[in-house]
């Protein structure tokens, strides 16, 4: 409305989120008044588009004074108050870059209003702006560039990988990531058969890319989750366990901005006309919590940890059971640090821990260092040289176009080269310099001023699914293939040679169970050779056969899968051996009847 004057007086707050204001009347003459309602899907692009249209209209009217007046009664479906306030503030900020005088009525108040509207044909107009009308931002098309960095500090072009004596696994990484050379694998990977034997498969009654877990698979899943929790506690900093929701509103500016930086691989959900996103990592919940914490520099560094469901809308043709899925489980740790210097020191500790964990499995990583700023790399060469020195082998650097719009400056992907010769990212760590400000996470520094922490994002062992993938890929490269004892659903199977020794065999299985060893009893009316074959097919690490000699001497005949050896050992000795092998790893009891005959047969 083009007005002779508008006068309003704040009377009382209408909502809890109302801005602070006194009750003094305000009067503005010769102005354009814009009454604004914000709907759920509106964002900054819609606000900018509306202001630019207002500016053009005011230029035609030769009016230089703008009054923005929040007015909820123009729309049936209103955005949440916090989202509406963000959009209205954005309109005010944008208008101030275009116009000499911009005023705004306080948000969230009942106001007494007087207005005199001019009588010309353009004095009253109505406009509706939607996100679909907003201009699509220009997309950068510049490609990434690559360098090889050696432990000696040399920088080489990736094309030189074949002319130098680089490790074979590193050569595969460079050819895949930097040179685009990759031969597609042939046939179904062997580990998929093992997953299915554990009862882990796609859920056919869900969307593509969602897995289900039978009893054995669930036990393995829970053990890996417990282990991920234990690993983060070993970093030497306080780590707080948190939990939260999977659904976040795109009306919230931090969520919307973060989602925009992440890209298009997201599940979006509409509920009651409002747009939500299924979280693709634990960032949203942990940041939403941290923004409400009162943090001092004395509290830093500390971590927030959650084993979080994460949803990523991967392309259907790229889905791989147990590796590339649409619903994954992320043991996600965020470490809040005072500044970039402290973050780099903790980063090195995280880097070492990621390597120590893969080494426990008898594997090694080859690393891809993604950087969004070459300036950051050049300004911290000593930091990068130390990281590479710690690895003791070359790494591949990937430089995004300078000033790329990302919240992180460094993201390391730690890859194994699997049995089929493919790089597979497992562990990861990011150095985040943008999200603390975006989400309003602050701490009080030594001088009493407010500061934004630097945040490290890391999954020390990768997702639960990818850690299991690594375990199985490792197992399948040994003869015979063997799971770690701590992760084997059944650790000892006790087999009586005949029904005569069933009672004695049951006592042994029960005593092992009392010692926190997952033991079961094959009491089926099958032949001894059939029972042993089934135990070996299930990769059970210890098979204890009980007969007349075992009952008489008190020693058990045990076949150890890993070595293929058969030994005679006391019950105490067997307990001691397994306890030694599983020391430092979590334990969960067998969630099934002791007797194999009492269990349902799970189809594979």
Per-block mean pLDDT, blocks of 10 residues, the chain (604 long)? 95 91 94 94 89 92 94 85 91 94 95 93 87 56 83 92 89 93 73 94 95 96 98 96 94 87 82 90 94 97 96 90 95 97 97 97 96 92 94 95 82 96 95 94 96 97 97 95 97 96 96 97 96 96 95 92 94 96 96 94 66
Instruction: For residue 258, say if its preceding peptide bond is cis, omega within 30 degrees of 0.
Output: no
Whole-angstrom Cα distance, residue 410 to residue 432? 8
DSSP one-letter code for 162? G
Q: Return the CATH number of 2-133, one of 3.50.80.10, 3.30.70.580, 3.30.930.10, 3.40.50.300.
A: 3.50.80.10
User: Quick one: the chain helix, strand, coil %, rounded to 5?
Assistant: 35, 25, 40
Whole-angstrom Cα distance, residue 225 to residue 266? 24
Longest CA span, the chain: 111
* Three-class SS state of 347: helix
* Three-class SS state of 448: coil
Whole-angstrom Cα distance, residue 69 to residue 67? 6
Write out the CATH class of domain 485-598.
alpha beta
Whole-angstrom Cα distance, residue 212 to residue 321? 10
Structure tokens at 85: 């306030």
Enumerate residues 6+ apart whose C-beta is below 8 A from 446. Answer: 297
pLDDT of residue 16: 86
Domain ranges of the chain: 2-133, 145-185+223-244+280-475, 485-598
pLDDT of residue 383: 96
Q: How many CA atoms lie within 13 A of 79 on its CB side?
A: 26
DSSP one-letter code for 98? T
CB atoms within 10 A of CB 250: 21
Whole-angstrom Cα distance, residue 46 to residue 52? 10
Whole-angstrom Cα distance, residue 349 to residue 598? 48
Q: Which CATH architecture has domain 145-185+223-244+280-475?
A: 2-Layer Sandwich (3.30)
Whole-angstrom Cα distance, residue 151 to residue 286? 36
pLDDT of residue 187: 65
pTM score > 0.75 for this model? Answer: yes
């Amino acid at each position: 409305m083009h007005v002779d004057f508008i006068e309003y007086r704040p009377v009382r707050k209408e909502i809890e989120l109302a801005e602070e204001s006194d009750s003094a009347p305000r009067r503005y003459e010769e102005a354009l008044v814009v009454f604004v309602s914000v709907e759920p899907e509106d964002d900054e692009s819609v606000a900018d588009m509306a202001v630019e249209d207002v500016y053009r209209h005011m230029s035609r009217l030769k009016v230089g004074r703008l009054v923005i007046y929040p007015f909820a009664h123009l729309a049936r479906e209103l955005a949440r108050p916090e989202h509406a306030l963000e959009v209205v503030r954005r309109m005010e900020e944008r208008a101030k870059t275009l116009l000499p005088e911009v005023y705004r009525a306080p948000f969230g108040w009942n106001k007494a209003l007087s207005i005199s509207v001019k009588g010309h044909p353009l004095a009253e107009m109505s406009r509706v702006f939607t996100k679909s009308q907003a201009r699509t931002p220009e997309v950068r098309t510049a490609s990434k560039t690559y360098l090889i960095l050696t432990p000696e500090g040399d920088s080489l072009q990736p094309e030189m990988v074949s002319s130098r004596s680089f490790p074979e696994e590193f050569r595969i990484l460079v050819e895949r990531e930097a040179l685009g050379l990759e031969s597609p694998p042939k046939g179904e990977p062997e580990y998929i058969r093992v997953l299915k034997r554990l009862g882990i498969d796609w859920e056919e009654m869900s969307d593509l890319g969602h897995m289900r877990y039978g009893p054995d698979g669930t036990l393995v899943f829970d053990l890996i989750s417990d282990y991920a929790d234990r690993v983060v506690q070993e970093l030497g900093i306080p780590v707080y366990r948190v939990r939260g929701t999977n659904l976040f509103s795109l009306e919230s500016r931090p969520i919307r901005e973060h989602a925009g930086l992440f890209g298009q691989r997201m599940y979006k959900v509409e509920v009651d006309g409002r747009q939500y996103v299924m979280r693709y990592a634990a960032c949203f919940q942990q940041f939403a919590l941290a923004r409400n914490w009162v943090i001092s520099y004395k509290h830093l560094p500390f971590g927030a940890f959650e084993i979080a469901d994460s949803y990523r809308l991967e392309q259907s043709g790229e889905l791989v059971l147990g590796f590339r899925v649409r619903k994954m489980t992320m043991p996600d740790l965020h470490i809040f640090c005072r500044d970039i210097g402290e973050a780099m020191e903790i980063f090195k500790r995280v880097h070492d821990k990621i390597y120590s964990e893969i080494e426990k499995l008898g594997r090694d990583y080859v690393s891809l260092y993604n950087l969004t700023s070459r300036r950051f790399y050049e300004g911290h060469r000593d930091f990068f040289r130390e990281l590479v020195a710690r690895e003791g082998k070359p790494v591949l650097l990937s430089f995004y176009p300078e000033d790329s719009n990302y919240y992180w400056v460094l993201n390391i992907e730690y890859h194994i080269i699997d049995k089929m010769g493919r790089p597979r990212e497992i562990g990861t760590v990011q150095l985040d310099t943008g999200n603390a400000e975006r989400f309003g996470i602050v701490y009080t520094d030594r001088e009493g001023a407010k500061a934004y922490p630097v945040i490290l994002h890391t999954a020390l062992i990768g997702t639960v699914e990818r850690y299991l993938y690594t375990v199985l890929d490792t197992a399948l490269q040994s003869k015979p293939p063997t799971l770690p004892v701590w992760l084997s659903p059944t650790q000892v199977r006790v087999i009586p040679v005949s029904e005569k020794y069933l009672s004695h065999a049951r006592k042994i299985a029960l005593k092992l169970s009392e010692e926190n060893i997952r033991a079961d009893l094959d009491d089926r009316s099958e032949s001894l050779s059939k029972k042993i074959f089934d135990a070996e097919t299930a990769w059970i690490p210890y098979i204890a056969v009980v007969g007349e000699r075992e009952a008489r001497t008190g020693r058990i005949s045990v076949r150890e899968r890993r070595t293929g050896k058969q030994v005679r050992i006391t019950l105490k000795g067997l307990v001691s051996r397994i306890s030694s092998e599983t020391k430092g790893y979590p334990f969960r009891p067998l969630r099934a009847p002791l007797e194999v005959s009492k269990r349902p047969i799970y189809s594979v």
